[in-house]
Amino acid sequence: MPNTRAQRKRSAAGLRNRNITVLGVGETRGVSLQIFISGDPIAQPRPRFAVTRASRTYIYNPAARAKTFFSRKMKQELQETGLASTANPIFTLPGVEVQVQFGLADMSKDLDNMLKFILDVLEDAGVYANDRLVRKIVAEKVQSNTGFTSLSVSYMDLATALAAVHI
């Protein structure tokens, strides 16, 4: 977590240089999204504790600023393509499948923490109402000189989705 004002400004500037691109929209039982995010993937860090001058302890999320930034930017990109509205999420039924590929130069980040960050961003951006709707996740991390995150969000095939609803 950046401590000084200068470190926070540099950190925020690094976020502003990220691009989020909706690559394609297809029809598979409704909608299918392909999203590409440039830059090193962000992993969800552990909650942190801080103490105020009045000796009160509080818990904060060190990734809150990055999560808000990516959610707003993704929502803006989806609205520009005509997919997202401010009121309704894109995926509203159970049986959502998320496929994620993380490109990393340094393979030390945990896959589950990077996935948690992305799932929260998708929910906040209005891709789906709640991540409880997600029934299948396929995730991998690959070695890459330039960091990236490639996402595909769609409904599962009809038979699998119906079976998932009745389990």
Report how far apart the first and last C-alpha atoms of the chain are (Å, whole number): 42
Q: What is the pLDDT of residue 77?
A: 87
Kindly state the tokens that stand for 91.
């995926």
Span 56-77, average pLDDT: 88
> What's residue 112's pLDDT?
94
Model pTM score: 0.78
Q: Share the mean pLDDT of the chain.
A: 81
- Domain range summary for the chain, segments of one domain joined by +: 14-165
pLDDT recorded at residue 116: 95
- The domain defined by 14-165 folds into 60s Ribosomal Protein L30; Chain: A; (3.30.1330)
| Residue 99 CB partners (closer than 8 Å, separation 6+) | 137, 138, 139, 151, 152, 153
- Which residues, other chains included, contact 42 with Cβ-Cβ below 8 Å and sequence gap of 6+? 63, 66, 70, 114, 117
d(CA 136, CA 158) in angstroms, rounded, equals 13
The span from the CA of 32 to the CA of 38, in Å, is 20
**Residue range 104-130: mean pLDDT, rounded:** 92
Packing angle, helices 5-16 and 64-80, rounded to 10:
30
